[in-house]
Structure 1
Amino acid sequence: MERMFGVKNTSLEHLLIPVKILVKNSLQRVVIFGDMGKAEVDGSNEYNDFQHASLNTTKQLIRDLNNIDLIFLIGDICYANGYLSQWDQFTAQVEPIASAVPFMVASGNHERDWPGSGSFYEDKDSGGECGVVAETMFYVPTENRAKFWYSTDYGMFRFCVADTEHDWREGTEQYEFIEHCLASVDRQKQPWLIFLAHRVLGYSSATFYADTGSFGEPMGRESLQKLWQKYKVDIAIYGHAHHYERTCPVYQNICTNKEKQHYTGPMNGTIHVVAGGGGAALAEFAALNVTWSFFKDYDFGFVKLTPIIRIQEEQ
């Protein structure tokens, strides 16, 4: 089997990582992105109008529906910020997509954050929604939708979806969930272990992260990177920064593999991808270069994961 990701709607990057396993004769094509939003086709002005590129993402996904099996929109879904009519507009925009393929979501700051509401951050980004609309409108496979973290298996993938708007640090309920999700996967059935979250809990050279000196959420990486390393997480994908970026396989700021695109054998680290170009206005990269950042694209788009199957006979 080969794994390939990095197909975006305005440019193309392929990453090939061959692995030999016993597989079934099937194909899974999974699209992942964050920070989409909505816009009027006629170009009319409206509240919070900075997501016009979401129309291009919508058109691209509709055109490619026959080649998509599952979609994850990992936070900052529509930027309604407390205006229910904006949710109506968004659901109308994505209905041709969400009615055709499974459409999974994660929680972002524009769905959840509000002072005194129990969110990890005390920002006002949700406009007072406090997660209620997103938790009610979208199904997620969890017993308590207010705890917007969950796992799901699809074909050869195990997806562990975190909620960055609730505390994920060591000792919390969510940390225990993340470790259980990573530890419980059967790598013979789901060889691909993927971590998804809205805010960048791994690595990003977006300007607003670089300015903090952390190159990611300041409290994010320390608690989680030992789990990613211990359980051999293949890829971690985030939104929040509105562009595309890919790292080398990395652990503790050090690239663990010298290859840049075609990997063979153990990677010994996790590849971190920022896929926040779903439609909201783009975010700048920091001017300085960091050794773990291998590919940057100041553009809109999405990531597509596609295992390329090689059938092997059981012995």
Structure 2
Amino acid sequence: MGKAPLDPSVEHYIQPASIDVTRAVAKEMHSGKVDTIFHIGDISYATWFLVEWGFFLHLIKPLASQVSYMTGPPLETPRVSRSLYVTLDSGGECGIAYESYLPMPAAGKDKPWYSIEQGSVHFIVMSAEHPWSEKSEQYNWMEMDLSLVDRSRTPWVILIG
């Protein structure tokens, strides 16, 4: 899902398909078969403008207000340009808005990996934007998290990233 205003005359770069995707997800959600939505990466496509985050948040409100709406970090979250110049893209600063608007039960600041349990499923959300090779901080966290899973109570483990 991306961002799109219902009135495209107010936006310089829109993604009209995002409205269709959101409607399709809402239709599926209203069937009563959806408990959680995992939106992993590519969050909002807000190209450095807060108003575009507003478009995105307005678009997902019917979904996120009804079921758990869990996210994984957007691409380039850790990179921050700190540039004073307007660019065509966020320059990596989307992570600032992402962490502010969509707080998740993350391991810590700039550690956007986490796990949750829903019924008999243990979900692990990892970050593909942070090191996850053996001995990395994320790998060590994942190893610890997996060791705490009670497989008799939660036999299913799903890794998302």
Shift of 1:81: 2.7
Name the counterpart of 2:101: 137
- Alpha-carbon distance in 1 for matches of 2:27, 2:36: 15
The aligned length equals: 154
> What code does the residue aligned with 1:179 have?
E
User: Structure 1 residues 45, 137: closer, same or farther in 2, change over 3 A?
Assistant: closer
Structure showing greater Rg: 1
Map 1:150-229 to 2 at 5 A: 150-197=114-161
Structure 1 unaligned segments of length 5 or more: list them: 1-35, 117-123, 198-315
* 2:24 pairs with 1:63: no
* Pairing of 1:268-279 with structure 2 (within 5 A): none
Following the alignment from structure 1 to structure 2, what is the Cα–Cα distance between the partners of residues 147 and 81? 23
Letter in 2 for 1:41: L
**For residues 15-34 of structure 1, what are the structure 2 equivalents within 5 Å?**
none
Structure 1's consecutive aligned runs of 4 or more residues displaced over 4 angstroms after TM superposition are none
Contact 1:37 1:78 in 2 (8 A): yes
- Is this contact kept in 1: 2:115–2:125, CA < 8 A? yes
The equivalent of 1:39 in structure 2 is 4
**Higher RCO, 1 vs 2 (CA within 8 Å, ≥6 residues apart):** 1
Distance 1:47 1:181, change over 3 A: farther
Structure 2 residues not aligned, in runs of 5+ = 83-87
TM-score, normalised by the number of residues in structure 2: 0.84
TM-score, with structure 1 as normaliser: 0.45
Report the equivalent of 1:52. Answer: 16
C-alpha distance in structure 2 between counterparts of 1:181 and 1:85, whole Å: 37
> Distance in 1 between the 2:159 and 2:63 partners?
23
Indicate the SS of the match to 1:131: helix
3-state SS, counterpart of residue 57 of structure 1: helix
Deviations 1:101-146 (A, max 9, x none): 1111010215443469xxxxxxx96434151111111121135242
Aligned equivalent of 1:307: none
Q: How does 1:240-251 map to 2 (within 5 A)?
A: none
